[in-house]
Amino acid sequence: MASPTMAWVTGLALLGSAFSVSARADGTILGLYNPLGFYVGGGVGRSSINQTDFDQFASDFHHVDGQPVGWNAVMGMRPLSFLGGEVEYIDFGKVRTGALAPYFANQFLGGEVRDRAAAVFAVGYLPLPLPWIEPFVKLGWAQLWEHDSYSGVYDGVTLNGVPLGLQSASQTTHPSGTAYGGGVQFHFAQLAVRAQYERISGERKFGGWNNPDLLSVGLNWTF
């Protein structure tokens, strides 16, 4: 069975094909196509929060890779048909933190990790004979905000002879790294429907790696 995201992309491609009969040689659709200028938009989709450790506190806990709902908001400028720039806020959502069995699994109360990012991209567009269908690639830099937390009740467990009892910990780090992605967008007058994949490669302060990504479908409006 096809995933919901693939169903979206397939549906958009079929819808775009239906408009091909109205595309004119001058690059317009019903006289309204104009991709250049300032635009704003946003999207929603599935993200992955991929982290290698929770090393500041204890090796007995780990981040559970998951696929929460993520979203983005974007502002962009496209002065040339083949090149533009974007600034973007991405919320990758949050996933729970797990305990490695058999260590303290029954005492673990729970935890979570959340990732957000601000990114700057250069965007390159691939020209096609049908100009309202536009594959694109993105390359830039991002600053991540990563927050981790967990808590547990460890009655009967001692550390250097001291009972642990209720324990909680959290950390916030701000790694930065390369941001990249790509996708395809379909222009309908000033409205563009975009399906894209984005990933950030960020090195954490304590030596681990955090590489969240987002696969989304969204809308842009050109002024």
- Pick the closest to residue 176 from 119, 122, 214 (CA basis): 119
Q: What is the pTM of this model?
A: 0.72
Q: Is-contact 75 89, C-beta < 8 A?
A: no
Instruction: Give pLDDT, residue 110.
Output: 66
Question: What tens digit of pLDDT does each residue of 38-85 get?
Answer: 999 999 999 988 765 444 444 455 555 567 899 999 999 999 989 999
Instruction: Give pLDDT, residue 38.
Output: 94
Question: What tens digit of pLDDT does each residue of 139-184 get?
Answer: 999 999 888 777 766 666 666 666 666 667 777 878 889 999 999 9
Task: Check the CA dihedral 80-85-86-87 and report its sign.
Answer: negative
23 — pLDDT class (breaks 50, 70, 90): very low
3-state secondary structure of 20: helix
The pair of structure tokens assigned to 136 is 């694109």
Question: What tens digit of pLDDT does each residue of 211-221 get?
Answer: 889 999 999 99
Instruction: Give pLDDT, residue 119.
Output: 97
Question: What tens digit of pLDDT does each residue of 184-202 get?
Answer: 999 888 899 999 999 998 7
Q: State yes or no: pLDDT of 13 exceeds 50.
A: no
Q: How many CB atoms lie within 10 A of CB 13?
A: 13
What are the residue ranges of helices labelled H in 87-197? none
CA distance 29 to 94: 41
Q: Is-contact 35 134, C-beta < 8 A?
A: yes
